[in-house]
Structure 1
Amino acid sequence: MELLFALTIGVLTSSGVYLLLRARTFPVVVGLTLLSYAVNLFLFSTGRLATGGQPIIGSTASYSDPLPQALVLTAIVIGFAMTAFVVVLSLRNLADNDDDHVDGHQGEDNETQLTREKEVTGK
């Protein structure tokens, strides 16, 4: 159970980082969402991964910690608000620039990018 949970968190994290490094806004938004899911699962796992346990504090009963569950619920609400904000921000960028490229240099070859960097740095 723990190995499957750890692999799931690892796959979500690596997929999220890969999508964050893309040059379009939609994969960046999906990557942020996957990373937030991975963090939520990690926080949830800190409260123990026991199945069939009683949620009662007692001398003989093992219980799961309710604090990580409360943190995950809060993180879900904040993550939803952040995702909505980033989607609106990316739609505004698409409307203003007529493309959804993250750095604003869509379709330029390497020589044009080097020329632009030389103009910015002054070298």
Structure 2
Amino acid sequence: MLSSRALHGVRRASLRPSTFAVHVRATNPVTGEVAYEQDRVVTGARWTPRGEVVLDLEHGWQVPGGDTLQYVGAYSRNVLLELEHTITQAEPLRGPAGRWSSSGSARAVRRTPRWTRSATTRRRRA
């Protein structure tokens, strides 16, 4: 989801899936290795009632760049990857006076919680 005051002056009809490009980098938090880094396919772009932009990405089984887990054989477990999405405006958006374009890119980092196993002890009342 993209949220900015600058988006409030944009004509809603000028938003298309091709307006933004998304690049993802997935890092294994256990090993620190990059699992994959690639562009994602934007399948849809829409406005929320609050004026924010939501981008829909291609998803499903065996979709390139859609994995959120990686198997680590040394631990015999799947690990939740840390995903870093870079969103770049590829086409201009239209405002009331014509063209409006934002330069640069926005970076959204999705930090995933690191789960730890802890022992639970019960206390008996004396």
Higher relative contact order (CA 8 A, sep 6+): 2
Q: Please give the TM-score of this superposition, normalised by the length of structure 1.
A: 0.26
Q: Report the structure, 1 or 2, having the larger strand content.
A: 2
Q: Report the structure, 1 or 2, having the larger helix content.
A: 1
- Structure with bigger gyration radius: 1
